[in-house]
Amino acid sequence: MDQAGEATARRRVVKSDTAFRTIGEVVQELDLPAHVLRFWESKFPEVKPLKRGGGRRYYRPEDIDLLRRIRQHLHQEGYTIRGVKKLLSQGGLRGGETPKEAKPRPKLLPIEPAALPSEGAADAGLTRLQLQQALEDVRAELLEIRALLDKLLAG
C-alpha cells in the first residue's frame, strides 16, 4: 500500500468523538444487527439519524448514547419497548438515569414440570379440576383488571 492509502486507512480507523457514524460503525460499536437499529428508529422517534442521498444514515454521538441506553434497558434490565418509551417520555433516558416510578418487567420463574399435576396423579396436591378452577379465577380477575384499566384510560 502506498503512503496515501495508509494515511486514508488511519483516518478511517480513528474518528473524533464528535464525528457522525454510519450504521455499519454503530452496529459494530453496539454489537447489534442493523435491522434492530432500523426497527428501534421506527419505535423510538427520539432516535433520528441524519439521512443523506440514497438513504444512508449518519448517527450523531447523542444518538449513539441514546441507543446504548435503550439497548441496556431492553437487553440487560428486562424492560419492554413500551417501558423504555415510558422512560423516554419521563426523561429517564436523556440523563442516563432511570426514574424511580418506572420498573422493569419482573423476571418469570420457570415452572418445574413435576409441579404441574397430571391427570392420574393423586399425590400431586392439586387435581386437574382444581387447577382448572384456579386458572379460571385468575383469568376472571385479569379481565376485571383489564376493564378497570380500559375505563381509566378512556376517562
Q: 50: helix, coil or strand?
A: strand
Angle at 25 between CA 53 and CA 55, to 5 degrees: 15
pLDDT in tens, 119-153: 554 445 667 777 777 788 888 888 888 888 888 88
For 87, residues 6+ apart whose C-beta sits below 8 A from its C-beta are 73, 79, 93, 98, 99, 102
Instruction: Read off the pLDDT of residues 15-41 as tens digits, 9 standing for 90 and up.
Output: 766 788 888 899 998 999 999 999 999
Exposure class string for 25-58: b at 16+ Cβ within 10 A, else e: bbbeebebeeeebeebbeebebbebeeeeeeebb
User: In this model, does residue 62 exceed pLDDT 80?
Assistant: yes
Q: What is the pLDDT of residue 136?
A: 81
Confidence of residue 8 (pLDDT cuts 50, 70, 90): low
Threshold 0.75, pTM exceeds? no
H or E segment and range at residue 36: helix 34-43
User: If we measure between CA atoms, which residue out of 92, 90, 94 comes closest to residue 66?
Assistant: 94
Q: pLDDT tens for residues 77-131?
A: 888 999 888 888 887 665 544 444 455 555 555 555 554 555 554 445 667 777 7
Residues 6+ apart with CB under 8 A from 47: 40, 41, 63, 66, 67, 70
